[in-house]
Amino acid sequence: MARIDDRIRQLARDMAETMYEAPGIGLAATQVDVHLRLIVVDASETRDQLLVLINPEIAAQEGSQKCEEGCLSVPGIYDRVERAEHVVVRYQDLDGHEQTVEASGLLAVCLQHEIDHLQGRVFVEHLSQLKQLRIRSKLAKQARITA
């Protein structure tokens, strides 16, 4: 992203509003058809710890955890995904300053999940081929029913 301006700040506010209304704990700009490297995340129980990360990159990761994930991009599909237990993510904030966040548990999962979206991947791609085939069949069936 070349310049962080009022348009980017408004996008972040709109994405946060969409995420909270969904209700979700993370949203990537690519999920709302905006092709910028921006994610919003709030994995807090109180829903008052919004993180806006511009150009996020995983700088370090360690450990392993399995957590059930779902996604607004794949409605109705949930499964356990293996991800790093701890991550360090470098990013720019809305003022363009370089920041780092260290995360474990649910926040670590959410950051990895949303960064995947920026790389064109959804969580089901972390599952076995058999599970992916079953999910494709289920989504195709849902599409036929609503068509």
Q: Is residue 42 part of a domain?
A: yes
Is residue 62 within 8 Å of residue 86, measured between CB atoms?
yes
Q: Verify whether residue 21 is a known catalytic residue.
A: no
List the catalytic residue out of 17, 45, 114, 125: 114
Q: Is residue 26 part of a domain?
A: yes
User: Model confidence over 116-134: pLDDT tens digits?
Assistant: 999 999 999 999 899 989 9
Q: What is the mean pLDDT of residues 94-113?
A: 97
CATH number at residue 110: 3.90.45.10
DSSP class of residue 125?
A: G
CA distances from 39 to 8, 19, 31, 135 (A): 11, 10, 10, 25
Whole-structure pTM value: 0.92
Q: Which residue has the higher pLDDT, 14 or 139?
A: 14
**Residues in the chain, how many?**
147
Q: How confident is the model at residue 36 (pLDDT cuts 50, 70, 90)?
A: very high
Domain total of the chain: 1
List CB contacts of 48: < 8 A, sequence separation 6 or more. 42
Q: How confident is the model at residue 1 (pLDDT cuts 50, 70, 90)?
A: low
